[in-house]
Amino acid sequence: MVFDDSGKVLRKTSAIGNHAGWRATSFATGDIEGNGAQDWAFIDGSESLVIATPNGQKISAIPHAAGLSTFTIASRPGQSGLLITLDGGTVKVYAFKP
């Protein structure tokens, strides 16, 4: 759940069903939009990799991502960041355009 300063729920999603999955990467932060804010990447209950702003607004999602080995956001000063995923030995890099 994401709350604003007054305690109002801004966004909520179900957690991943595989409790052992919490030992794997399930959350990352970094500036994906290039605006200086630390955006979030996480696997939600529908097994999508969700990218969201700090206030809970969904920016993008990659479906069927629960099987990813790991993921991270690489911030790049002065430009949008990169989402990097590792899946079965395959590295993919996603660039976000504002």
* Total domains, the chain: 1
What domain range is 63 assigned to?
Answer: 2-95
Average pLDDT taken over every residue of the chain = 83
DSSP 42-89: EE-TTS-EEEE-TTS-EEEEESS-TT-SEEEEEEETTEEEEEEEEETT
Least confident span in 6-10, 20-24, 69-73: 20-24
If one compares 21 and 25, the residue with the highest pLDDT of the two is: 25
Q: Tens of pLDDT along 46-68?
A: 889 999 999 889 999 999 998 88
Percentage of the chain modeled with pLDDT above 90: 46
